[in-house]
Structures are given as structure tokens and as C-alpha cells.
């Protein structure tokens, strides 16, 4: 299956299990991998045969910057559900939500979750 990638989408939001996270907010990064048959788009050069990246960005933005969730697992799940329900041509969606600076004592680069969903996961 062909793939479309949207990498390192950055947002500021208020997700977290701790009071400080929902009060102060923090940066979140999202990587998205969409399984789409791109053959016809490549052959015809027509946007109607692929997924509009700008629209997908807006979906991700509305989820990340919209409702507040305690868990980034919930953020990832909601992104996958919205993308898959919006685009019938997307046959699978992998979402990685990265929290670069969670309030954890220690040395680390980031924490993240990754989910892999198909349209049938939401029937």
C-alpha cells in the first residue's frame, strides 16, 4: 500500500493527567502515516484521487488544540478516528503523538504513543 506522511506537526495544547499540564499547557508533536492507493493520483495528476494534506493538518490541529484529554493515547485515537471517517480512500492510519517535555524527573528525549488503525476499527 502506498503511503502519505505528515511529519512533525507541532501544536500547543493542554493535555495531561497532572493539573499543571492542563493549566500551563505544553508542546505536542504528531506524525501521521496514511495508507492510500496513490496510483491514480500519480497517473492523472488530479487532487481528487489523493488526500489533501492541508485538510488533514486541519483535522489534526482541531483534535490536538480542541478538547483536553488526560492521555495522549486518547489524542491519537481521536485523530485516527477523524481522519478515517473523513477520507474513505484512507485504508489505514498510523498516528504517533509525542510529548517532548512531560513533567517527568529524569533525562529523556520525549515520550510518545503510536497507534495503528483501520476503518473497521470504528464500525
Residues with a known catalytic role: 99
97 forms bridges with which residues in the sheet? Answer: 30, 113
36 forms bridges with which residues in the sheet? Answer: 90
Cβ contact 33:7 at 8 Å: no
For the four alpha carbons of 37, 42, 47 and 53, in that order, the dihedral sign comes to positive
Amino acid at each position: 500500500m502506498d503511503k502519505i506522511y505528515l511529519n512533525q506537526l507541532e501544536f500547543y495544547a493542554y493535555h495531561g493527567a497532572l493539573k499543571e499540564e492542563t493549566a500551563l499547557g505544553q508542546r505536542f508533536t504528531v506524525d501521521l502515516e496514511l495508507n492510500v492507493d496513490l496510483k491514480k493520483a500519480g497517473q492523472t495528476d488530479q487532487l481528487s484521487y489523493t488526500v489533501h494534506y492541508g485538510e488533514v493538518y486541519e483535522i489534526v490541529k482541531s483534535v490536538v488544540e480542541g478538547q483536553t484529554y488526560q492521555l495522549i493515547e486518547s489524542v491519537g485515537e481521536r485523530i485516527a478516528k477523524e481522519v478515517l471517517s473523513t477520507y474513505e480512500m484512507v485504508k489505514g492510519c498510523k498516528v504517533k503523538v509525542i510529548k517532548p517535555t512531560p513533567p517527568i524527573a529524569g533525562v529523556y528525549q520525549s515520550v510518545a504513543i503510536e497507534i495503528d488503525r483501520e476503518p473497521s476499527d470504528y464500525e
